[in-house]
Structure 1
């Protein structure tokens, strides 16, 4: 392990553009470096720090802190630091000023330390792919293991394009708020615009979120609870456990319940705060809950904020205002002003719908439009055609108030949802009926309050009439896949034991005690055509997983909470489901489950229709429902049950009417712009179909000795060729299955989905570029009439990195290629990449190394000539980068300024941030530097040495 000491100089292998870093602190298994050129601080683990020591050599010129230069004559190591001796003075490593590291490409060539032309070609290709990847308009969107759902991609694109976004994601259940949030995080993290994220969720959803971000987006978040924090106390940086990791998930209740942990989280510094189930944060004008108070403090400390809730206005205007004031406390400072604010949203929504559908505008519509826009623009609608109409629609949507901070899509506005078909199966038993009613009453009691009953739960599945029905049904449905969800792990295991041993049925299980890997494998076996016919899930199966390839759901028992029932059904009932869903509900007549079946079906129609407002419904009816279910004298014709069903049905209809009347059509239209979304989907599909990544990996894996075995179309098993093969990022010693096909990745979650965003890809690029692979090469060019020697030089134009500034979308690290002949003439156009890759072969350069004139005069002159040529190229690229940046940001800033006049939700800070970013980007792009990255000496065939 490298020994680090303050004032030593290092470069980052993965981020050479940071420049030379200075070790500032080493403690507790960490090393901290400051990179003056990019004004960045990095913290690395001592055992795995991707750093290379910078040591200057005789002949190099360095400067001290006063910018006085020194030509190095001699180098000595004194203690932990190097001393550099010049003609009349010496300079300690600690006294170095602004210096640049020599990356050694030309040094390697002059020493004869060269690679074969094929390896040089791999480096060249890697540099080009890295450039394309960074500049791609869908960078950060291609890597998610997700269906390409247009409204999700539109929201992620819109939000991730903003400066420190602060928004409320409030799509209805099943439309993918979690996916939208993860897409936003993934893109911002991948681009480097954010690095520190904390996600707060209800305790029951901590594991679900951990799985979702890992399985779908390859983001490893660390789960923090009191045990984790206590174990880190004293060993974490500055004694703050929240500084030990960059990406953290914890429960809202845990953080709100500890003043100490709240203080630590507040001082840790966050680029993004994400809060799920935000409607559970209780706030009123007179009272603030501890959870809300804690989130409010964190929301002020964090730069960006994502709130997720499916019920933004359902709990009333006061609750809705509570979410908005977290997003922008300056804009939403007074509740009474908020509720008295005039609104013409419905009139504008009507006009937008008319414009969309091509209906004629009435005189009143025209008057409203003229209050927003010049009269000439309205008159030009008839002449401007579809373009003028579309531009007017975009401007109208932009000016919608909360639409700037609030996104909401509804099922009614979407297509692609299946129908639900409920199959309610009342089971009557004449044998031991009283005994079975008592047994199922005990089971129900255990399910409702598992910790309140001391005795162990028992099952009698060998005789259970529900299980007999299950066996008969599985035979009828064969070979259709069936998902069964029940309350507990114990019930799952008891069912599996009976079905496998007694009925010889192919069954897989899914419960909380299995490891993540085992759950993936079991779910994958269920997805295979010849795999398990039935997957037995505990309640955890209703969280996070999508089994859309199955169309039959068995609810072996029912939860008491309507939202949990909706989550269960939501494993199959999601956008993209291809068939109707059959929901089978077996229950013993007059048992406690019978009460729930009737209440859900007749009172809420919850089996066949999407249910909204489950939390409020539960609060209102929970205890009455429990009391009826536990009544020993219950019968199907209980007047109390009839009254409860009637009362529930009335409340549900009133709630649905209230929600329908409260729908903000303008908000919904602003939350999904099909034209933009369609373009994003098209671009991602184009990248999915492009096989350049697959072809690139065949070369990378071959070079690094990784076997790539075919499994099926575009699907492979990767593993090290031998035990001595160098460790490759994200590929375990035992191997990993991967696919380049999105649809296969969606159906087989145990197989990795390789894309330009995947850690294996970014790790491979870093591994090639940071290891020096192919940075110096020698080869012989055959099959041409050329004679003499050539130099192919690869330069990289790079900017200093500022984590808060997204420079890559305008000027990423740019490959500049120059080929010169022995006279220093530019012959790049005569020797294309394709020509050299096809006709170059390895050779021995020993004889050339002995040619003093070549090594001391000709080659340095060729390098000097190429360096002058590349400056011209770099000037053009810098100019193009500035043009791209100004064209984009001028449009964005002008748009924000115009919108601010009409839309109070445009924060002044947002415009100031945009202006500051433009100034910073201008400076970064203008100061971009060219660095020699790789060099290849080419000997043309036929030359006699």
Structure 2
């Protein structure tokens, strides 16, 4: 049943109605009179060359004086009044065009004392990050003005007020706009959506279609885009002929019927086994609690401070939970993956990371931490200690050197190599006659019957043994390499056997389950080859050396 229905596979679908934690939506429509400037443009809309949807929803782009439209557009005055009611409330404003966003920002900065940030395509990534960060600050900007670039990728859960300066024609894009605030993690229980629109205009016809035909502001379903594509030409025609109200009403009725039919089809196609499996059955709560408990102690920050200092990464405190990582002049490397020359802003605090998307959230699995661990472990240095032991099987004064090598495969984000070839120690014990006696004297025997010598005596013994050290280390390295290669072969063979089982299972499932594609088979094969390559490329390095002197007197 699991294989046939796919409940153990990668494909699962959750619907919004099944997931708790989303805020409710409350929509505020502001009806405004169409300015004469825009009315004149709309009256001749059919004569505009290269006519596009953007021309319908953004009349400010069609007038000859594009820099002066803010003075005659009542939406601007309404925004000023809305923001002035309570300057503690933050608002995200999204519009379709970057030029529109820039003009709004320039006008409000020039004519009001409001704190404004701008987020448009013409800004660099760093400038957009700064704008988003300033908006996130408690005393930062009250209004962040975004072009459509702000509809995707950025999340602003710390505010619950969204202004849709215009409406996109694509319902998926509308949902993406709302989704910047309406998502799990939203601090407020209610999301406020403000929509200004002009009466007797294409904007009003589009708004009616969204509200009456799609119920788009309250009940988004996956069929909305399919509905849009089905009626795209009719919708376009209705918006161009916006004065013909009956035409709009007919479109709304047709759309509503078609949408309801699609919803029923989707409901019939629901796979309840998949939904049950993907819901987590409460295990997510347990996982969440364990993560919260672990992050209370902030061990990752303490560890990062220690290992960064060892390998030459500077950790500078900017704020209580914000830091800057950069490369010091005494670093052990030329460059470091994940940290540019100018440095990077990071945080160890999950809440801070959610509220400030320009920050990199450092966890045990993040690339910077993983690379720092690998750099530290693979540095060309190792620990040396001198011990004395008591073993009647060897003469007094005999010495041995215990070498501990570490095999540490490089792990990528997509790799699961640790399942087959985890980090492993390789122990080699060499006596003064250059023989491997690892099996004769175990690590446990040495640990239980040995003690560290004081610094003065250790130095004398080290000086005496140093003339043998190079040869013994070379011999130990060759011995460890042979052991390591044997472990590699064992791991690759084990991985190959598991791969064949998975591959045969996929081939069987492909014959009975249409959800399984050829791409999954190729992905499985690619994963095997990449893991094999990582295993073969893995080297060992010397981590610890114990010089052991037998003292049986």
TM bucket normalised to smaller:
0.7 to 0.9
Residue equivalent to 2:394: none
Which one of the candidate residues 429, 452, 466 is aligned to 1:855?
466
Structure 1 residue 736, shift from structure 2 partner: 2.0
SS state of the match for residue 709, structure 1? strand
Residue equivalent to 1:503: 112
| Cα RMSD (Å) | 5.3
Q: Distance in 2 between matches of 1:673 and 1:524?
A: 34
Which one of the candidate residues 200, 208, 222 is aligned to 1:598?
208
Residue equivalent to 2:140: 531
Matches within 5 A, 1:348-387: none
Structure 1 residue 704, shift from structure 2 partner: 3.5
Residue equivalent to 1:665: 272
SS state of the match for residue 532, structure 1? coil
Structure 1 residue 398, shift from structure 2 partner: 2.7
Equivalenced residues, count = 523
When residues 702 and 575 of structure 1 are mapped into structure 2, their CA distance, relative to the original with a 3 A threshold, is closer
Q: Distance in 1 between matches of 2:38 and 2:91?
A: 26
Matches within 5 A, 1:533-548: 533-548=142-157
Q: Distance in 1 between matches of 2:354 and 2:414?
A: 33
Alignment pair present for 1:478 and 2:80: no
Structure 1 residue 731, shift from structure 2 partner: 2.6
Alignment pair present for 1:622 and 2:224: no
Structure 1 residue 798, shift from structure 2 partner: 7.2
Residue equivalent to 1:568: 177
Which one of the candidate residues 735, 743, 746 is aligned to 2:354?
746
Structure 1 residue 709, shift from structure 2 partner: 2.1
Q: Distance in 1 between matches of 2:43 and 2:237?
A: 13
SS state of the match for residue 642, structure 1? helix
Contact 2:56 2:202 in 1 (8 A): no
SS state of the match for residue 399, structure 1? helix
Which one of the candidate residues 324, 336, 347 is aligned to 1:717?
324
Q: Distance in 1 between matches of 2:98 and 2:414?
A: 45
Q: Distance in 2 between matches of 1:612 and 1:438?
A: 38
Residue equivalent to 2:50: none
**What do the CA deviations read for 1:574-608 (whole angstroms, capped 9, x no partner)?**
34434221111111222321222222112221122
Which one of the candidate residues 795, 814, 821 is aligned to 2:405?
795
When residues 640 and 735 of structure 1 are mapped into structure 2, their CA distance, relative to the original with a 3 A threshold, is same
Contact 1:509 1:522 in 2 (8 A): yes
Q: Distance in 2 between matches of 1:815 and 1:781?
A: 20
Contact 1:790 1:821 in 2 (8 A): yes
Q: Distance in 1 between matches of 2:236 and 2:518?
A: 52
Structure 1 residue 547, shift from structure 2 partner: 1.8
**What do the CA deviations read for 1:192-233 (whole angstroms, capped 9, x no partner)?**
xxxxxxxxxxxxxxxxxxxxxxxxxxxxxxxxxxxxxxxxxx
SS state of the match for residue 504, structure 1? coil
Contact 2:311 2:332 in 1 (8 A): yes
**What do the CA deviations read for 1:241-284 (whole angstroms, capped 9, x no partner)?**
xxxxxxxxxxxxxxxxxxxxxxxxxxxxxxxxxxxxxxxxxxxx
Residue equivalent to 1:237: none
Contact 2:32 2:199 in 1 (8 A): yes
When residues 674 and 791 of structure 1 are mapped into structure 2, their CA distance, relative to the original with a 3 A threshold, is farther
When residues 571 and 908 of structure 1 are mapped into structure 2, their CA distance, relative to the original with a 3 A threshold, is closer
Residue equivalent to 2:22: 417
Alignment pair present for 1:810 and 2:420: yes
Structure 1 residue 761, shift from structure 2 partner: 2.8
Alignment pair present for 1:651 and 2:258: yes
When residues 698 and 624 of structure 1 are mapped into structure 2, their CA distance, relative to the original with a 3 A threshold, is same
SS state of the match for residue 270, structure 2? coil
Which one of the candidate residues 437, 442, 460 is aligned to 2:69?
460
Q: Distance in 2 between matches of 1:895 and 1:676?
A: 27
Contact 1:742 1:753 in 2 (8 A): yes
Q: Distance in 1 between matches of 2:410 and 2:330?
A: 39
Matches within 5 A, 1:373-452: 396-400=1-5, 406-428=11-33, 433-435=35-37, 437-438=39-40, 446=55
When residues 819 and 739 of structure 1 are mapped into structure 2, their CA distance, relative to the original with a 3 A threshold, is farther
Contact 1:818 1:828 in 2 (8 A): no
SS state of the match for residue 21, structure 2? coil
When residues 459 and 446 of structure 1 are mapped into structure 2, their CA distance, relative to the original with a 3 A threshold, is farther
Contact 2:95 2:166 in 1 (8 A): yes
Contact 2:12 2:275 in 1 (8 A): yes
When residues 928 and 679 of structure 1 are mapped into structure 2, their CA distance, relative to the original with a 3 A threshold, is farther
What TM-score, normalized to structure 1? 0.46
When residues 614 and 701 of structure 1 are mapped into structure 2, their CA distance, relative to the original with a 3 A threshold, is same
Contact 1:822 1:862 in 2 (8 A): no
SS state of the match for residue 406, structure 2? strand
Residue equivalent to 2:48: none
When residues 822 and 529 of structure 1 are mapped into structure 2, their CA distance, relative to the original with a 3 A threshold, is farther
**What do the CA deviations read for 1:390-422 (whole angstroms, capped 9, x no partner)?**
xxxxxx333227996854332233222222211
What TM-score, normalized to structure 2? 0.74
- Structure 1 range deviating more: 535-544 or 719-728: 719-728
Q: Distance in 2 between matches of 1:557 and 1:656?
A: 27
Structure 1 residue 752, shift from structure 2 partner: 1.5
Matches within 5 A, 1:549-588: 549-578=158-187, 579-588=189-198
Structure 1 residue 487, shift from structure 2 partner: 1.2
Contact 1:779 1:843 in 2 (8 A): no
SS state of the match for residue 206, structure 2? helix
- Structure 1 range deviating more: 418-427 or 787-796: 787-796
Contact 2:430 2:472 in 1 (8 A): no
Q: Distance in 2 between matches of 1:570 and 1:921?
A: 37
Residue equivalent to 1:165: none
Structure 1 residue 789, shift from structure 2 partner: 8.2
Residue equivalent to 1:607: 217
Q: Distance in 2 between matches of 1:920 and 1:738?
A: 30
When residues 797 and 710 of structure 1 are mapped into structure 2, their CA distance, relative to the original with a 3 A threshold, is closer
Q: Distance in 2 between matches of 1:916 and 1:487?
A: 41
Q: Distance in 2 between matches of 1:482 and 1:522?
A: 14
Contact 1:602 1:645 in 2 (8 A): yes
Q: Distance in 1 between matches of 2:330 and 2:414?
A: 41
Structure 1 residue 506, shift from structure 2 partner: 1.1
Structure 1 residue 829, shift from structure 2 partner: 6.8
Q: Distance in 1 between matches of 2:329 and 2:537?
A: 42
Structure 1 residue 867, shift from structure 2 partner: 9.2
**What do the CA deviations read for 1:316-366 (whole angstroms, capped 9, x no partner)?**
xxxxxxxxxxxxxxxxxxxxxxxxxxxxxxxxxxxxxxxxxxxxxxxxxxx
Q: Distance in 1 between matches of 2:92 and 2:381?
A: 52
Q: Distance in 1 between matches of 2:318 and 2:528?
A: 49
